[in-house]
Every structure is written in structure tokens, then in C-alpha cells.
């Protein structure tokens, strides 16, 4: 039976659910260190962060640090996608248990860096998410593709190309145990 995106997603989610809870802080700490290293020296940039769900790597320490010298945004759910809003407190728990900042009238459609949670990645470093397509729809609306950093709680990768053409592609993948950089194909 050939590997499908749906089957791969199920396998990755099962792998994440079976992770031991006793070292979750350690795994998130390792990812935070790697992410800080990747973002070292970044100033005056517009960065989209995600606010972590319990099964995602907790990158709030990096968000807090980068907030000092950059414009930080987080997703605000709108229909089947989201828009970016400035990260500001207080956050409210919304649909799917996601914490969001308040809405804004500003239409922000340009960012320099996007930090995106992933469930798994395929051979082209394309994202397999939770299956709702929110990030895919959001990236489609951007004027310019940002430098995209994928964050994974547990390494889950297939060498096969199982994603669709509209699935977003990362430039780099960070996990507690591995770092992968996308090899750009020559034209």
C-alpha cells in the first residue's frame, strides 16, 4: 500500500501522542536553543510565530526574546484560514484551544520570517499539518514568500513526495534531535 499524506499524518500524530511527557520541557528547550541560534542577529524584522498547542514544541521563550527588537505576529483565526495580528496580551483561548491576541483592523500581508509548527514533512520539506489547510491558505495570500522555519516536537519525515503542490515548503526544519535544510533545486 503506497504512503498517502493522510496515513503519514496519522502515523506522525500517533508518534507525537506517544512521546513521554517527562521530557517535554527538555525537548522544547533544545528546540528553543536551535531556534535562537537561527534567529541570532535578526533585528527590525516582521516575524510570524505560532502560539503552541500542548502537542507542539513550546517556543514562547524565543517569542519573548525576539519581541524586544522585532515585530512579532501570531495567527488570528478567520474562517478557514487566519490573518496575522500583533502579539499582545491578554490572549484569549479560541477555537481548537488556540490562544489568540485581539483582532486588529490592520491588514498585514508581509512578513520576513514565518515559524510554523508541523506534524511531519515529506521529501521536498513540504509541510504536513493537522489537516485543516490554514497555513496553506494563509501563505497563498502573502505578497512575498517569507523565510520559513518549521518546528517539530518529534522528527517525523518521509523521503517520498506525498504533499500537494499547494502545501507550504520550509527552508529549514528544527526538531529536538535533527535539523534539516532544504536543498534548493537548480533551474
pLDDT digits (tens, 9 = 90+) for 15-61: 999 988 888 889 999 999 999 999 988 899 899 999 898 889 999 99
C-alpha cell, 69? 527588537
pLDDT at 110 over 70: yes
pLDDT digits over 112-127, tens only? 999 999 999 998 999 9
Helix ranges (H only) for 40-133 are 60-66
For 170, list phi and psi in degrees, rounded to 5.
-95, 160
Q: How far apart, in whole angstroms, are the C-alpha atoms of residue 110 and residue 107?
A: 9
CATH number for region 5-181: 3.40.50.10420
Q: pLDDT at position 49, please?
A: 94
Please state the domain extents for the chain.
5-181
Q: How many alpha carbons fall within 13 Å on the CB side of residue 13?
A: 10
Helix (H, G, I), strand (E, B) or coil at 177: coil
Helix (H, G, I), strand (E, B) or coil at 144: coil
Amino acid at each position: 500500500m503506497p504512503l498517502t499524506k493522510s496515513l503519514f499524518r496519522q502515523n506522525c500524530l500517533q508518534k507525537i501522542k506517544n512521546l513521554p511527557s517527562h521530557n517535554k520541557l527538555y525537548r522544547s528547550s533544545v528546540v528553543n536553543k536551535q531556534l535562537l541560534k537561527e534567529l541570532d542577529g535578526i533585528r527590525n524584522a516582521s516575524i510570524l510565530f505560532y502560539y503552541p498547542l500542548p502537542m507542539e514544541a513550546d517556543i514562547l521563550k524565543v517569542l519573548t526574546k525576539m519581541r524586544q527588537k522585532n515585530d512579532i505576529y501570531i495567527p488570528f483565526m478567520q474562517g478557514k484560514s487566519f490573518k496575522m495580528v500583533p502579539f499582545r496580551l491578554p490572549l484569549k483561548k479560541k477555537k481548537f484551544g488556540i490562544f489568540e491576541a485581539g483582532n486588529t483592523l490592520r491588514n498585514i500581508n508581509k512578513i520576513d520570517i514565518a515559524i510554523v509548527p508541523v506534524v511531519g514533512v515529506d521529501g521536498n520539506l513540504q509541510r504536513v499539518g493537522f489537516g485543516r489547510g490554514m497555513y496553506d491558505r494563509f501563505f497563498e495570500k502573502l505578497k512575498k514568500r517569507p523565510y520559513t522555519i518549521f518546528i517539530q516536537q518529534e522528527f517525523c519525515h518521509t523521503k517520498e513526495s506525498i504533499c500537494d503542490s499547494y502545501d507550504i515548503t520550509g527552508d529549514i526544519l528544527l526538531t529536538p534531535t535533527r535539523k534539516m535544510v532544504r536543498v534548493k533545486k537548480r533551474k
